[in-house]
Structures are given as structure tokens and as C-alpha cells.
Chains A and B, each alone.
Chain A
Amino acid sequence: MIVKETIAVIDIGSSAIRLLIAQGGESSDWDLLDSAEQPLALGRDVFRKGSIDRRAMNRAVEILKGFQELMVPYNIDRIVAIGTSALEESENREMFIDRVMLQTGIEIRVIDSVEANQLTWLAVREPLNKALTGFKRYNSLIIEAGAGSTDLMILKKGKITGSHTLPIGTLRYLQKLDQNFGGNIDNVREFFRNQVSRTVKTISHELRLSKISKFVAFGSDARLMADLLGHPVTKEIAVISRDAFRDFMKEIESLSPEEMITRLNLPLNEAELFYPAMLVFDTFVESTRADEILVPSANIRQGLLINYAAGRNTLREIFRTQVLAGSRSLAKRFQSDMKHAEFVMKQAVLLYDSLNTELGLMGYNRMFLEAAAILHDIGGFIGVTSHHKHSQYIVHNSDIIGLSASDKEIVGHIVRYHRRAKPQSSHSLYMSLNRNDRIVVQKLSALLRVADALDRSHTQQIVISDLKIKNDRLIIQTSYPGDLSLEELSLEEKGDLFENLFGLKTVLRFDNSTT
């Protein structure tokens, strides 16, 4: 008998709360058993007032209780609840999460736009390759016109080279309609059109939109558009020709949301946001050279959520290459000593792999160490004296593809502690991390300090040839026959954290056996 697991994924978005129930497990694919969706315009509150009001909270709890009733017969093994943009931006999200936890027992995890983008990419990658031979050869744009923001991903020959979140949101637009234009739809559409095209103009050059030949529109508005205009290429991808889309834009230009409901058969709760979303697509499409719009089906989003719930850590591993590439390009931009950076990374990883059992860390943490090793000296661009602090600041404020905001916090802290002061409770920023993350930061910065110490001279000569644990000492052997005193001194100074954590004193030794 195959034991299948049943999981439930709850997705709390800007305009709706959705539920997916799936069964499956390691030995089989995930099958969707049931799903439900209730409209709830959390985004409307958040993008207008910054927080979620009491009524919306009550309604959310009510919806989730309904979902729980629906889940009862399935004997759910695991419930994963995630909140996206509206929740992420809400000032009182902790209160919201707490209310939901207290009243339903459901624990919500907020994922940021970077992580959401990654999920999207993961989900559409295969279907796009299947639908379009040679998709990987093109430059493409994946765009989702969301309620709070527009998310973009730029792909150069199949690899993500940029991921951006623009402050253009369909719900934000709606707010304008209510506040500034007293409901005059033509004026507000004109305003929004100008706003979008201005934004697109500013970034068009940087993102080299004119080089984009494949345009992928994601999200519920895109799916509605595909229902109306699209032709299926595969089960998962529909295509709309640019001409058909142009005609369609002309046709709907003067339609009110009410007319869209009757003429286009749009669902009530989506009609208001439909036109602004189309406008976003239109503006972007016009600045690319794409001759068609590709739209992934609803199943894809479902698959994505289920896979995410089933194992979110795999996500990070998949993005390891992207993270490394992103880190390298950032380091180069800040004129780091790349040879040193690569060397430190190699040695740090070697330490990580050899001390696997002592570290007791999940596999994906290795990626944080890699990124931190590459980035540890970038702060030198600003000033040498406190360059570890500058490094943290730069990491914190840069986009690194594949790293979510919370991931960047971790990497930033490892970088911060690669020299000088050890992590301590008087460091308020450090204390704001959760306990698990603090442990990760401690362990990984300890490794980074050791690896960095070994290349104090920036000459990449002290190559580790072997690592041994003897009594309470970690013996680092190297075949370098020269003078080791600088590195030994440095190790003395920077090995303290390592010693505290693992109870091992680091000792550097010349190893003549290999020569």
C-alpha cells in the first residue's frame, strides 16, 4: 500500500484567499483533489491605508474556517499557508497572522516578491520549453500585473538576468479612481496610462526591453485574457497574437467594468482590475519586439503552490546557480578582488563540506555561505576601515536574483561578521533575526572568518590540502612550503568564533606528505 500524503495550501493574496488540497508524496506526483477561492480585497485596505482593517480580518478568519470545514473529510497531513504582496506590505501583518493563528490554528508565512517571482519562474520554465521549441534561445520577459505591484523577470537566453518589482498595481490604480477622480473612468485611465508608460520608459533602456522577443503574461488577468483571445499551444500555455491583442485593447478601451462583465463574461470581482492589468501588458508589449503573448494556465499556479508546500527548500537549491551568478556580478560591480573572493569561497565550502556533521545545517545553507564569501569584501568600495559593515549595507540594498529579502538578511549578516566583532546580543539588527537564522549566521560566519584568514595575503597560496580533527583541534593542512606566519596570526585573531562554536581550536600546518 502506497501511503499518500494530503496537503492543503492556503494562498492569501491581494484580492482573494485560495485553497488547494492535493494528495501525493515522494513516490508519486501531486494530484489536486479540491480547491476553493473566496474574494477578499486585502490589497484594497493595504494599498490605501497601509493596514488591514478589522472587517477584512474577520472575513479572512471566516473564510479560513470555511476552508477548514472543507478540509475535514480529507484528513489533511499538513497545511501550508502563505501570504503574498498585500500581507507583505501591511503594517499590521503580525497582528493579522496572530489573529488567524489564534482563531484557526493556521500559521501564515509571508513570502516576498522575490520568492514569489522565483516560484513563478520555476512553474513556467518547463511548460514554456515544452510549448515553444528553443524558448531558451530567446530573450524573454515574464510579467505579472498584480494588485499592488508589477513583477518582471528578464531572461537572457533562458537565464534570469533581472527581477524587478515596479510600483504599478491594478488595485493602486483603483484607489486613484476613488480618491482623485471621483470615479471618472476616462480620466483615471488616462492618468494610469501615462503613469505606466512613464515607468516603462524609464526602465526600458536598462532592461533592454527592445531586445525582448518572447512575452509571457502571468496571473489571473492574463488567464482571463487568454480565455477570451487565446489559442492553446499546449495544455499549459495559450498564445495570443499581438494584433489580436491590439484590436482587443481598442475594443475594450471605452467599456466600463459593468459592460465588461456582460460583454466579456468577466467574473464580478475581476472586472474592475481587468482593464488596468491589460493596460500594463499593452504598454510593456509595445516596447518589446514580441509578436505574441504567451499565457500559462491556471494549473501552473496550482502546481507551483503545491510543490512549494511539498518542499520549499528545494526551491533554494534550484536557485543556487542564479544566486552565485548574481553575487558575482554584484561583487564585480563593486570592484572586489575576484580572485580572493573565489578562493575564499572555495575554501569556505571545503570547510563546510568537511564539517557537515559538526555544523548540523540543512543543505541549502551552503548557498548562503557561497554568496557571503563572494560578497564579503564589497564594502571596500566605500571605505576600507568598516568595510564589513558597508558590505552588509550593500547586500541589504541590492537585488540578488534567487535571494529573497530574508535570505539577504542572512547573507548580509554573515558578511558583516566576517571580521572584527562577533555576533552579540547588543547588536540590535542581529538580534532582530529569529533564533534559527542567528545560528546559521554564527556558524557560517565562523567558517567564512577561517577561510578569509587563510588568504590574508590575497595571494591564494595557502590551499587547504587536508582537514583533520584531533582532540580539540581542527588541523588545517596546506602544502604551501613558504612562510605561514601572517595567516597563522590572522587565524589566531579570526578563529575565535569558530573555537567558541565548535569547541575546536584552528591550527594551520605545513603538510609535506603531498610534496
Chain B
Amino acid sequence: MKDERFIQREISWNAFNARVMREGLRDDLKPLDHLKFMAITSSNYDEFFMVRVAKLMRDTPETEGQSDVLADLLMEIRKVVELQDRTVTRKIIPTLAKEGLVILAPEDWGTEENLKADHIFETELFPLSTPIAVRKDAQLTDLVTQGRIYTACSFDDDELVIIRLPDNIDRFRDLGISGDKKIIILLEDILMTRSNKFSPGRKMKSSCFFRVTRDADMTVDEKRDEDFIAAMEEILESRKSSFPVRLETRGDFELAGQLRENLGLPESNHFHLISPLDLKAFSKIAIMPEFEHLRTALHTPEAAEDLSENDDIWETLKDRDILLHHPYETYAPVIRMVEEAAEDPATLAIKMILYRTSGDSPIAGALIRAAERGVQVTVLVELKARFDEGANINWAARLEKAGAIVIYGLVILKVHAKALMIVRREDEGIRRYLHLGTGNYNDSTAKLYTDLGLITARDNYTRDAALMFNAITGYSSDPHLETLFMAPFTLRREILRLIHREEKRARGGEEARIIAKMNSLVDLEIIEALYEASDAGVKIDLNIRGICCLRPGIDGLSENIRVISIIDAFLEHTRAFIFHNGGRVEVYLSSADWMTRNLNRRVELLFPIADSSHKRRIGSILENYFRDNCRSWELRSDGEWDMIRPAKGERSFRIQEYFAEKAAVQAAGRMIIEKKTLSVRRKPSG
């Protein structure tokens, strides 16, 4: 059953993938930027197939064939993927070659390249590879690992041999500079061109590359599994052998077809490509250090407006809150908080939720040092962070060894809230300091994702945060929060209440407005509430990067709702909401998208902003997004997205550039002010 009032979720997700790809085709980007966007698109599709397509396939019994949604979706995907495929091969790789970065195809290899390829094959590939003969009745499904590139060779006697490309050696082989060019050849090309050496004396009929994507959306039976870590490791194992959802091939088309049949996949799930497989890995080339001129320089984070390097964080927080706008402003204050707390004898405890944290991050090191010093460190490591489980398990063990209390997530619920609390004993008694954010504690992504963070020592915030921590670390069951709202308990209700309140005000003839920014809007109950609010006359501006199931601009349903999406160099990641509330504006930040799974099956936080200057600042941030006419898309009521570009004579405005410049001007301005205070050295008297 299809409800026309909503946009189908997977179709909308695919539209996002398409927008990313389209942004990657822009003429005003440099060649390596193009390549980066293609890599991102490829990575997006991997996840999309592993999770959503897999789910749709699972939901449809085999006897019934493909559902309409699935068929539509696969057709839409094909359009995007084909465009991506052609662009990479026909445009990006040739342009890069012209600029001196040559990814050389085997047919263009000269003597020198072939000699090097021989050497790599003999010394690395041959010893590391294990060809597998696939018998007639064998199931390919049982033999191939998810996401890895294979070479398939078919011989005269119809025997099929597959060889997995080793992934522990470099895929991109830099053959050095020849003339003014850098030559790169691909490991899989070396393997393919020399694969007959594995079967000497036999004649190869045809060959191709292939890559299989599998269902990854598996859940641990948490009630059964006593040892959650063991269960999680089991999942990582089983993910290697779950059912296939996509086949990508390159090379001989007939052989590719045989592989597809063996895997039991319909044609719609088979993508026969002309560009290299697994483009995601090409992000490595996109960031190669020698080719700065082939990519747009990313803005580097500036000092924060609310806290300069010399400010004492704890003292500052006694007077006011600190708002951080990443990546325009540095993430350093958050790291500093943890690092200073780790060394400071006043620190009594550090509590933190780690989700998708890089293992070698300074935060990790600081937590370990603090635990070793005897500070009570309590860390919730979310093992269910999709695709990062491996990294997280390793992490947890290191912390535990240092003496920290490590909690491995909660049964059923995934902990997605981002919170850090430091408890200190000061002269005036025990005080607590809290960081709440919209982004993960990951110093690498903090340079690439836009996020907002709040550091505060306000009692009502720290008290609620303590309760939240007690609940998720198992000390307590009932977090009765007053200032913060926590999913799966009160967050949904609060959002609905805030929307209804605007609706009520609008019906009473007052001005009513909602501005909301998030990654995805999927939850039907909330969308219904927004429809009702729109119907009452509430002006609703939504800034939604990814999936949006709400249909805007339909008379009698959503004529007061506008939806935009910003796709630019930084990944839009902020979740922030503004409610007009009859002039007493309320501003909230959150870790949660308005998606059913986030509101019902995750631990998430929604928190208000108390400081009025911060409210204004976030208000202006959110308003300004709607001025973007360079990297903005607007959702039409038919579900299609229009690219917004400056009209004739209109000045262009690009929001990410605007924030970057603003942060730079702000930081420069303060540097001058700070330099006016001269520090004078004098000999100590006496």
C-alpha cells in the first residue's frame, strides 16, 4: 500500500545519493574533488545495499518476486550508478591524466610498467593469493567475502577459478614520476593480466572482476547472548556469509552473467561497470599529498568564538556556556577538557559515550591516562555503531585494562547520544562540567562534519546528564529528566509537544514558525504533526541533508513547508531546532534525527539552549542556510529535488564558505585584540 502523502523512504535515500553524485559533477570543482565525490557516492551505495536494499529483499518473500518499491528503487539506482560509472571512466580519469596524475590501464602499459607489474606479481601477489576452483555445482555465495574484489577466470574446459585481491597490500601502485607525470597502476590489473600464471598450460577463455555486497543488517540475539562482545564478534563473522544483495562486475559480460546466475541474483541487482570496482577506495588518491592544485583546499578550523586558547575552561564555564560550531571552529576545547581533566588532581570522575571514535584519538589517550591515575572513568562504548564494531572492541579492551569502567552498550538500544561529563572537586564543593553535541567524539570527522556542541556547567543540565549516565551505565533505571529529553523515553513526546504548541499558536492567530535542521526526516508521526502544523499556518523551514519522507508544498497538506538540502564539502551533520513560541524563541540541539529508529530504539538526547546570545547565534546559523544558492537543493512536492543556483543578477551565497569566512574574521579579530595586551617581562624584585 502506498501512501501518497509520504515520499517512499528508500527512494528518498537514493535521491540523496544522486544529489551527492550530481554535486560531484559540478564544473567549478577540481578533478580530485570530483573523484572524492564519486568515492563518497560509492561508499553511500555500499551501505545502502547492505542495509536498505537487503531489508527490502528480506521483506519480500521469494515467491512474490520483487516489490514495486524495490523494482523502482533499483531502476533509480541504476541511473545514478551508470552516470557515475561513465563519468569516472570518460571524464575524471582522463582529466587527471592530463593534469599529470595517470591511472594507467593495462592496455597502455609499456615495457617498464609490465616489468614492474611482473615484479609485484612475483613478490607480493603470487604468495598472497589463493585461487579457488569453482566446481559446476558449487555456490559462489559460500566462497566469496562481502565487499572484496575478485578476479574470475573461465577456462576452455569451462572451469571457473576465482582469486581474491589481497587487501592487506596497497591497491594503488605508484610507479613514480616519469617526465611530468605520476603513473599509478591498479593491483587488480596486475592480478588479472597475470592470472593465467596460476594455471600454467591452460587456456583462459574469458575473465572479469567481480564484487559481491551482502546483507549486513543483522541483530544480535541480545537476550540469548550472555557475552555481548562474543556475540558481536560473531556478527562480524556472519556478515561475511549473509545473502548477496548486489553484484558488481567489470570485464567479460558473458562471464559476469554466469556469476550472477550462480549467485541467484536478478539482473536488476547486477551492475556491469566500465570503471574500477570499489571506487570508495579511490578517496585515497583524492587526498594524495602531491596534488594540492587538483583539489579545493578545505577550510581549517579556527579558534572558537567562545573560548580562546588562553582561557581557563573551568573558570569560563562558571560565568557562561560555550557554544562550538564545527568544523569552522576547532574541536580543541573538547579535547582540552578531557586532557586537562586527565592530568588534574581535582578531577573525580569522567563519564563519556564513545561512538565511532578513532582509536588513536587524543581523547582515547587522555581517558586511559586518567584511569591509570585513579580517576573514575566510566565509558560507554557503543559496539553497535554500524560497521565500526571491530575498531570499537579493540578500544574497549584498552580502556578496561587501564582501570576504566567500560559498558558495552545496552541491550536492544543503541546509544547514539553524545555526552561527556567531568566531575571536579573545587574549593566551593563538587562541580560538574558537561559537553553535549550533535556529532561524535571523533577528532578526524570534527574537521569534516558540520556540528554544534555545547559546554556548560549549569546545574540543571549536569544533574540531568548525571541521571542519563546512571541510566545508560546500569546504576539506575528511571531517569526522570527535567531539562534534557532522552530517547526512547521523552524525546519523541517533547518534539511532538513543541510542534503542537506552534500549531496551537497558529490556530490562535499568532505568528508561528519552526526551523529544523537534521540529517533525515522519516518518522511518520512527526511528519503528520508537521502537516497539521502547516495546515494551521505554521511556517516550517526544514533543512534536511538526506532522507525526507515529508512531501512539501502541497495545498491543504503542507503548503507552508519548505525543504532544502545542502550538499557541500563538509558533511552537514547538525541537528538543531527552533520554535518561535510566540516570540519567546526556544532553540534545541539534538543527537537524534527525526527517524523512528532514533526515537524508539536508540538512546538520544535533545537539549535546550539557555544562553540568549547562543540562541541568536544558532538562529542566524539556521536562517542563513536558506540563503544558499550554490550548494542547495529544494525538494518539490513530487519528490524530485531542484538544484538551486543564483538567478541572473543574483549574488551567489554559499553557506559553508560564509561560515568559514566568518570564523576566520572572528578569529583574526580576536588575535589583534589579544595582542594589544602586551606581556612585560621584569626581573623579580629583591
Residues of A within 8 A of B (CB): 1-2, 4, 6, 16, 19, 23, 31-39, 66-67, 69-70, 72-75, 265, 267, 269, 298
Contact = CB atoms under 8 A, between A and B. Distances in A.
A36 B423 contact: no
B470 A73 contact: no
A231 B405 CA distance: 41
Interface centre among A1, A66, A70, A298 (most CB of B within 10 A): A70
B478 A37 contact: yes
B348 A73 contact: yes
Interface centre among B375, B428, B470, B478 (most CB of A within 10 A): B478
Nearest to A66: B475
B463 interface: yes
Contacts of B490: 265
Interface in B93-119: none
Contact of B466 (A1, A34, A69, A269): A34
A74 B470 CA distance: 14
13 contacts: A2-B427, A16-B477, A19-B475, A23-B429, A33-B432, A33-B463, A35-B467, A36-B467, A37-B476, A38-B475, A72-B376, A73-B376, A298-B480
B254 interface: no
- The majority secondary structure among interface residues of chain B is mixed
A70 B430 contact: no
Interface string B484-500: 00000110010000000
A32 B432 CA distance: 12
B425 interface: yes
A46 to B, nearest CB: 20
Given A1-B427, A34-B466, A265-B493, A66 B474 contact: yes
B430 A23 contact: yes
A108 B423 CA distance: 28
Nearest to A270: B478
A75 B477 CA distance: 23
B661 interface: no
B477 A70 contact: no
A299 to B, nearest CB: 9
Nearest to B377: A73
A374 to B, nearest CB: 44
B578 interface: no
B459 interface: yes
Interface residues of B, number: 26
B383 interface: no
B478 to A, nearest CB: 5
B463 A32 contact: yes
A279 B595 CA distance: 37
Contact of B475 (A70, A73, A74, A267): A70
B477 A39 contact: yes
Contact of B348 (A4, A16, A69, A75): A75
Contacts of B423: 73-74
Interface in B494-548: none
Interface string B457-471: 001000100110010
B593 to A, nearest CB: 21
Contact of A70 (B425, B429, B470): B470
B349 interface: yes
B227 to A, nearest CB: 19
Contacts of A67: 475
Q: Counting chain A CB atoms within 10 Å of each CB, which of B348, B405, B425, B476 scores highest?
A: B476
B477 A38 contact: yes
A33 B432 CA distance: 9
A6 B428 CA distance: 12
B299 to A, nearest CB: 39
Given A4-B429, A73-B349, A269-B477, A35 B459 contact: no
A73 B430 CA distance: 10
Q: Which 6 residue pairs across A and B have the least CB separation, nearest first?
A: A36-B476, A73-B349, A73-B348, A4-B429, A73-B376, A36-B470
Contacts of A16: 477-478
A23 B376 CA distance: 19
A31 B459 CA distance: 9
A445 to B, nearest CB: 45
A43 to B, nearest CB: 16
Nearest to B480: A298
A36 B475 contact: yes
A265 B478 CA distance: 13
Contacts of B459: 31
A414 B353 CA distance: 60
A194 B670 CA distance: 75
A69 B473 CA distance: 11
Nearest to A70: B475
Contacts of B470: 34-36, 70
B477 A37 contact: yes
B466 A38 contact: no
A74 B348 contact: yes
Contacts of B476: 19, 35-38
A2 B349 contact: no
Contacts of B429: 2, 4, 23, 31
Interface in B385-427: 405, 423, 425, 427
Contacts of A31: 429, 459
Contacts of B425: 75
A10 to B, nearest CB: 12
Nearest to A24: B429
Contacts of A39: 477-478
B569 to A, nearest CB: 42
- Interface centre among B349, B375, B470, by most chain A C-beta atoms within 10 angstroms, is B470
A407 B425 CA distance: 40
Nearest to A299: B482
A6 B430 contact: yes
A250 B128 CA distance: 74
A161 B348 CA distance: 48
Contacts of A19: 475-476
A38 B478 CA distance: 7
A267 B478 contact: yes
Contacts of B489: 265
Contacts of A37: 476-478
A4 B493 CA distance: 39
A272 to B, nearest CB: 15
Contacts of A265: 489-490, 493
A298 B481 CA distance: 11
Interface in B161-182: none
Contacts of B428: 2, 4
A444 B470 CA distance: 48
B430 A33 contact: yes
Nearest to A3: B429
Given A4-B430, A36-B467, 20 more contacts: A1-B427, A2-B427, A2-B428, A4-B429, A31-B429, A34-B466, A35-B467, A37-B476, A38-B475, A39-B477, A69-B405, A69-B475, A72-B376, A73-B348, A73-B349, A73-B375, A75-B425, A265-B489, A267-B478, A269-B478
Contacts of A38: 475-477
Contacts of A72: 349, 376
